[in-house]
Amino acid sequence: MKKKIFITVFVLTIFCLTGCSFNPAVIPYSFAENEKETAVITFMRKHSIWISGSFGVRLIDYNGIEIPFVDNRTEYWQQVTLPAGKPLNLRVFMFYSQDIVGNRRRGVFKCPPLEAGKSYKLWNRGNSKLILTDAGVKEPRYVFGTPSFEIIHEQNIPLP
């Protein structure tokens, strides 16, 4: 009996640690093939079995140049290489929880010049705010309303 309980707990633990993450494959893309100085932005997305649906931010285009569509539901462009040293206009799609009209929005993230050779993360925080951080930030956490991490740039994306 103890062996059956152990096996059941073990299988459930493995399933929850691996099978429940549902994170699509990360595919890199570059808008900076002819550029000498580049930086990388990771567009953060999470899926949770505890919250119905997922939340994050997805790139639509950079300065009017659309990112190619990926026709596979298990893949998406997450890490994007961009030119460094100049301001960027990134049109993004923000989503939170289920894909309900009230919980999603499109907007332009006016990204400051990125430092060459560095990596960054772009987070959807609070369904209307985008936060750019260093790539070393594992999860942007707040302590009594104060961020416990360095914010490089933040911007609200208003409702249309």
Interval 72-91: pLDDT, tens = 655 667 899 999 999 999 99
Residue 59 within any structural domain of the chain: yes
Q: Is the pLDDT of residue 62 over 50?
A: yes
Task: Look at residue 145 and tell me if it is in a domain.
Answer: yes
Does a structural domain hold residue 12? no
Q: Is 137 exposed, middle or buried (0-12, 13-18, 19+ CB in 10 A)?
A: buried
**φ, ψ dihedrals at 87, nearest 5°:** -60, 150
pTM, to two decimals: 0.74
Per-residue pLDDT at 14: 57
Q: Where are the alpha helices (DSSP H) in 15-78?
A: none
Dmax (CA) for the chain in angstroms is 65
Range of the domain at 113: 24-156
What is the reported pLDDT for 20? 45
Domain count, the chain: 1
Residues 24, 44 contacting (CB under 8 angstroms): no
